[in-house]
């Protein structure tokens, strides 16, 4: 088979020689020589109320990090800077549509977080209680998350694009006591009401005692006495000083739901100490976030990327975050480049789906703006295909900015595989495991395979920010660490490693579809479709798409007597949108008479997908007649 020549990009000499960049090999060697000493050195940059007994205790599949230690992540994100040189440094630049702007110094953020922490306490929120945050990407979201962490409560942020059913599942799954939300979110010149979605989601959500609502619109929406509280009033009445509650390193910091292969989403639990160290380490060494950077991570804070690299990581290193509510094409396709010029953004971390969209809109848009402040580009969420890499490198990075294609997951909490700044970059390949991570590509058994052959990306040893468990489903957690005969951590990603140890990701091996960088479970979509009165059975697959990576294609068997009309297609899509939100809506929907199934009744999505793509369906010996 003819293999195209692999291109290699060598970093600009100013990066190779930069004293700020640690040599990959040296750092990896330091880690290999003594992993615990490596993490101890990193963790020692941070402030702990009580030192740990052990860096790590590993009883497969359970790891405890910084055992016995006590900390508060907000003390590290706030006091560590406020009490030193960064008191008046900008923590957050926020740019809203129509030129609205808000700026928070570290000191201002610190004050708001403390008031919100006290407000939550006044409502009876205590250490370990869960608080659901359903807010768009505005500063109040950052304040609410940190306020929870401040008092030892566990936040579970739900992306504000999710529909009522998805929100209800996450609220009830986590047993949230409080929901923090807004009346509406701003998008593309209009507004999307959130309150009605929350109201619907709260039917059958018995654990919720109060809802805090940020009212941004005039006239102000009415509040239900006692049950619904005004965000601003609550903060205004709260005491100023809020003590950071010391939590154990192993206590949960947050739960973040991610799609499961079964219908129910999985509540990924991250523990305070290990997560803090992982987020800090990778933001400092992989993203190389420095004192004078203005750093823009375009991910919504409702996703793990927003948690680790939108908020916690940059605040831990004392960086300046740029946060924006602008979508990339409104008011025009130049807006993001304009923002980069206006704010002097130096590090720009985004997703392949956005890059492909920009490619399509044309380089005349970025060419209108001065992007010379940029020094580093990043990508996450799905494979960065070589064409998109090259476009990004040339038209945004102007052939000088390195590109970090970072592979990781909600479950891993931090970067795992990438090409660290200073190393040669190979488009199409994410890169190598970062120092601190032992990742490899293996066969089903967990044994090594020759370079260039397809296998599974597996992780051999624990790392600090690995998930602690799956909330109330420890069995599901254990499954992650049961890959092959050695019990590796399974990423559920297919991959290939080349002779130099660079890893290329080939997509999921399970029933998750990555649509425009968002993780959606086939089962969730199928169960939403089946809940419609016209539907008997449904199957969903990811169909490759040049822009979004994948689109969702659904196959639906109708109940007897139901007419397969165009209007019904529309209704079914709408039904999914209302239940799960716009990201889960099938782009294509076909009515069929039967679905390929195994004899045991499992839908063979692989067969549907192969047929859809005009490919050989492979082994179909288990297919029912």
Site for ligand PRX in 119-178 (CB under 6 A): none
Site for ligand PRX in 40-99 (CB under 6 A): none
**By CB under 6 A, residue 410 contacts ligand PRX:** yes
> C-beta of 288: minimal distance to ligand PRX in Å?
17
Contacts of 611 (CB under 8 A, 6+ apart): 617
Among 216, 519, 550, 584, binds ligand PRX (CB under 6 A): 519
Question: Cα(first)–Cα(last) distance of the chain, in Å?
Answer: 35
# binding residues, ligand PRX (CB under 6 A): 20
**By CB under 6 A, residue 491 contacts ligand PRX:** yes
> C-beta of 416: minimal distance to ligand PRX in Å?
9
> C-beta of 569: minimal distance to ligand PRX in Å?
28
Among 72, 249, 298, 305, binds ligand PRX (CB under 6 A): 305
Contact 376, 401 (CB under 8 A): yes
Contact 39, 277 (CB under 8 A): yes
**By CB under 6 A, residue 508 contacts ligand PRX:** yes
Distance CA 229, CA 402 (A): 47
CA 508 to chain centre: 16
Stretch that binds ligand PRX, among 84-92, 200-208, 378-386, 460-468 (CB under 6 A): 378-386
Among 106, 407, 456, 471, binds ligand PRX (CB under 6 A): 407
Among 503, 514, 541, 568, binds ligand PRX (CB under 6 A): 514
Contact 222, 229 (CB under 8 A): no
Smaller CB separation from ligand PRX, 185 or 406: 406
Site for ligand PRX in 251-280 (CB under 6 A): 258
Among 382, 511, 524, 526, binds ligand PRX (CB under 6 A): 382
Tell me the HSE value of 310 on the side-chain side, using a 13 A CA sphere: 24
Sign of CA dihedral 261, 308, 583, 542: negative
Distance CA 152, CA 154 (A): 7
CB atoms closer than 10 angstroms to residue 399: 9
Phi, psi of 147 (to 5 degrees): -65, -40
**By CB under 6 A, residue 406 contacts ligand PRX:** yes
Distance CA 443, CA 457 (A): 9
**By CB under 6 A, residue 511 contacts ligand PRX:** no
Smaller CB separation from ligand PRX, 168 or 258: 258
User: Where in 384-502 does DSSP place strands (E)?
Assistant: 403-406, 417-418, 432-433, 439-442, 454-459, 469-470, 489-497
Smaller CB separation from ligand PRX, 181 or 519: 519
Among 409, 440, 469, 527, binds ligand PRX (CB under 6 A): 409
> C-beta of 310: minimal distance to ligand PRX in Å?
11
Smaller CB separation from ligand PRX, 54 or 509: 509
Residues facing residue 405 across a β-bridge: 379
Nearest Cα neighbor of 339 from 309, 305, 298 is: 298
Tell me the HSE value of 415 on the side-chain side, using a 13 A CA sphere: 29
> C-beta of 433: minimal distance to ligand PRX in Å?
13
Contacts of 563 (CB under 8 A, 6+ apart): none
Stretch that binds ligand PRX, among 107-115, 170-178, 287-295, 379-387 (CB under 6 A): 379-387
**By CB under 6 A, residue 493 contacts ligand PRX:** yes
CA 171 to chain centre: 18
Binding residues for ligand PRX (CB under 6 A): 258, 304-305, 380-383, 405-410, 430, 491, 493, 505, 508, 514, 519
């Amino acid at each position: 088979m003819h293999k195209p020549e692999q291109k290699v990009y060598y970093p600009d000499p100013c990066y190779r020689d930069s004293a700020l960049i640690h040599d990959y090999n040296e750092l990896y060697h330091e880690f290999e020589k003594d992993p615990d000493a490596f993490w101890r050195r990193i963790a020692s940059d941070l402030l702990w109320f009580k030192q740990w007994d052990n860096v790590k205790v590993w009883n497969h599949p359970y790891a405890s990090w910084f055992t016995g230690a006590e900390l508060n992540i907000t003390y590290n994100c706030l006091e560590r800077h406020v009490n030193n040189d960064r008191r008046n440094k900008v923590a957050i630049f926020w740019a809203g549509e129509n030129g609205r702007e808000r700026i928070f110094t570290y000191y201002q953020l610190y004050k708001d977080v403390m008031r919100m922490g006290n407000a939550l306490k006044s409502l009876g929120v205590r250490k370990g209680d869960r608080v659901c945050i359903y807010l768009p990407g505005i500063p109040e979201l950052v304040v609410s998350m940190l306020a929870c962490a401040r008092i030892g409560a566990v936040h579970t942020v739900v992306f504000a694009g999710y529909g009522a059913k998805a929100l209800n599942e996450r609220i009830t799954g986590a047993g949230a006591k409080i929901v923090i939300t807004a009346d509406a979110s701003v998008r593309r010149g209009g507004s999307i009401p959130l309150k009605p979605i929350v109201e619907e989601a709260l039917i059958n959500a018995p654990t919720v005692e109060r809802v805090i609502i940020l009212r941004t619109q005039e006239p102000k929406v009415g509040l239900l006495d006692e049950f619904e509280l005004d965000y601003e009033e609550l903060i205004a009445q709260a005491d100023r000083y809020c003590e950071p509650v010391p939590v154990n390193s192993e206590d949960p910091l947050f739960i973040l739901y991610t799609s499961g292969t079964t219908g129910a989403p999985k509540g990924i639990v991250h523990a305070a100490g290990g997560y803090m160290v992982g987020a800090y380490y990778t933001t400092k060494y992989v993203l190389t976030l420095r004192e004078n950077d203005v750093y823009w991570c375009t991910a919504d804070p409702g996703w793990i990327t927003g948690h680790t690299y939108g908020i916690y990581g940059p605040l831990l290193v004392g960086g300046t975050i740029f946060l924006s509510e602008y979508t990339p094409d409104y008011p025009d396709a130049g807006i993001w480049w304009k923002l980069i010029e206006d704010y002097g953004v130096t590090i720009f971390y985004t997703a392949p789906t956005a890059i492909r969209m920009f490619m399509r809109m044309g380089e005349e848009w970025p060419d209108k703006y001065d992007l010379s402040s940029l020094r580093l580009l990043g990508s996450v969420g799905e494979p960065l295909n070589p064409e998109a890499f090259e476009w990004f490198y040339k038209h945004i990075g102007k052939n000088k900015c390195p590109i970090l294609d970072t592979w990781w997951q909600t479950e891993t909490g931090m970067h795992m595989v990438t090409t660290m700044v200073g190393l040669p970059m190979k488009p199409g390949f994410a890169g190598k495991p970062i120092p601190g991570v032992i990742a490899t590509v293996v066969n089903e058994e967990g044994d090594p395979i020759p370079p260039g052959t397809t296998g599974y990306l597996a992780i051999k040893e624990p790392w600090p920010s690995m998930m602690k468990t799956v909330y109330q489903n420890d069995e599901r957690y254990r499954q992650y660490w049961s890959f092959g005969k050695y019990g590796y951590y399974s990423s559920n990603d297919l991959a290939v490693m080349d002779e130099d140890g660079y890893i290329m990701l080939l997509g999921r091996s399970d029933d998750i579809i990555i649509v425009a960088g968002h993780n959606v479970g086939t089962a969730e979509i199928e169960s939403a479709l089946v809940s419609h009165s016209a539907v008997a059975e449904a199957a969903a697959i990811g169909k490759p798409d040049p822009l979004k990576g994948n689109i969702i294609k659904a196959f639906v068997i109708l109940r007897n007597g139901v007419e397969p009309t165009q209007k019904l297609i529309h209704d079914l899509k709408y039904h999914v949108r209302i239940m799960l939100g716009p990201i889960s809506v099938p782009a294509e929907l076909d009515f069929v008479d039967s679905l390929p199934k195994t004899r045991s009744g499992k839908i063979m999505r692989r067969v549907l997908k192969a047929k859809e793509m005009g490919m050989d369906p492979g082994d179909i010996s288990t297919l029912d007649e």
